Amino acid sequence: MQAWRLEKLPFSTGHAETVFFAGLPQQEALARMRFLVHNGLRLGLVLGQSGGGKSMLLELFDQERQSENWSVARLNLLGMSVREFHWQLALGLRACPRAGDEPLRLERRWQERLRQNRLQDERVVLLLDDVDQAGADMFTQLVRLVQLPPEQVGNLTIVLSANTDERHRLGKRLMELVDLRIDLEPWEEADTVGYLQLALVEAGAEQPVFDEAALAEIHRLSGGVPRQVNRLADFALVAKGEAETINKATVAEVHASLTSRV
């Protein structure tokens, strides 16, 4: 990275994006999420490809709601047990869970907290990520949660996220309860280029690192999926390793090398 005098790594292969870039797909998804909460709908479902930026979208929406003084709890359900779900939900809603609480007691704690929020006319949003990766017994809990009556939980909105290809794991009943489906599409080329340039500037780049053809090639080969954009750009930087503008040929060679490893 010293070749381009970068102050930090511009791309992280372990995340969808290193900085949040609100391309057109993100703007549209956020607009639909705002519609969901401002119209008092109960359940929204964000669907997108693996590495498409769903987690970062929920994180941004979390920050946005909190800035407007909403009560927000954001959980990742990957491999989560029923007890851990109730624990994390009680913790996120500031329901004062105790280490020795059984699942039923934890559930009562967060339900009581929701009742208090209703009496105070406080709006609550639950953001549940990687729902498709939850254990089978979790889906019953989610169906029960979604169907809690308004007089018990007040102004509650729940937003789930899942990979499009795995949405069948959510089950027929939970899918029937979805009020609004939100599809997070891959970036268009302009969004991919905009993100790459923003990430490089944030990392301290003062001159072009990729030429225009290389930027277009990154988009084409990654399909506009943020995690794949990051991965390809990161490996191209490492492969070049010198202060020369990265061209289309370098990007293509790196992609071929990465593809051959799979």
C-alpha to C-alpha distance for 237 and 6, rounded to whole angstroms: 11
44 with 135, same domain: the answer is yes
pLDDT tier, 135 (very low <50, low <70, confident <90, very high otherwise): confident
User: Model's pTM, two decimal places?
Assistant: 0.90
Q: Per-residue pLDDT tens for 68-111?
A: 999 999 999 999 999 999 999 999 999 999 999 999 999 999 99
Boundary of a domain, candidates 184, 211, 231: 184
171 with 92, same domain: the answer is yes
C-alpha to C-alpha distance for 33 and 43, rounded to whole angstroms: 10
Per the CB < 8 A criterion, the answer to whether 47 and 159 are in contact is: no
152 with 198, same domain: the answer is no
Boundary of a domain, candidates 184, 209, 231: 184
pLDDT tier, 243 (very low <50, low <70, confident <90, very high otherwise): low
Task: Give me the half-sphere count of Cα atoms (radius 13 Å) on the Cβ side of residue 21.
Answer: 30
* CATH code where residue 195 lies: 1.10.8
* CATH code where residue 104 lies: 3.40.50.300
Q: For the chain, how many structural domains are there in total?
A: 2
Boundary of a domain, candidates 117, 152, 184: 184
Return the pLDDT at 216: 97
175 with 194, same domain: the answer is no
135 with 221, same domain: the answer is no
Domain that holds residue 11: 2-20+187-261
Which residues have C-beta within 8 Å of that of residue 223, sequence separation ≥ 6?
Answer: 186
Rg of the Cα trace of the chain? 21
Return the pLDDT at 7: 80
59 with 129, same domain: the answer is yes
Per the CB < 8 A criterion, the answer to whether 200 and 10 are in contact is: yes
106 with 233, same domain: the answer is no
141 with 205, same domain: the answer is no
